[in-house]
Amino acid sequence: MFSFHIYNIVIRCFYLLYSFVLLVFVFYIYINNLCFFIFKPLLTIYLSSFIYTNLLDLFYLYIQLILLISFIFLLPYLIYQIINFLTVGIFFSRKRYLIILYFLIFIYIFFLFYLIFSIFPYILLLIYKYTYFFILQLENIISFNL
């Protein structure tokens, strides 16, 4: 009986690993579109292009972005696998409470897409505006003191 649970965990971990690798490959294929979507507010307002000071900066950026977004998109599936593993040991009278957990997964996915498509570009824009204004003030102070 104990070996059944270990086998179940191994199979679920294999599904998670397979899904993560598949997401990494899919996001690797569309990395240019993904980067354009994330950095579009910065490119339209202030910058015309990005400057890379090291040869591998762009490569590291791509890898980190791919891994982060793949993990974010994998989180609902991870929660789903954990819930399905735990449902084997739950009594039938308590399984109706799992609807709340499925609803929370739906809320997470909705919030994730809202965050990525609505709020994240504006946060990047505000951060860039603040740093740009700070750099301008710093340049004025330095030039004034000289």
Condensed to tens digits (0 to 9), the pLDDT of residues 55-82 reads 788 888 889 889 988 988 898 888 888 8
How confident is residue 138, by pLDDT bands cut at 50, 70 and 90?
low
| C-alpha distances in Å from residue 71, one per residue of 17, 23, 104, 118, 140 | 11, 9, 18, 20, 43
Condensed to tens digits (0 to 9), the pLDDT of residues 84-111 reads 888 777 777 777 777 777 788 788 778 8
Total residues found in the chain within this entry = 146
Confirm whether pTM is higher than 0.75.
no
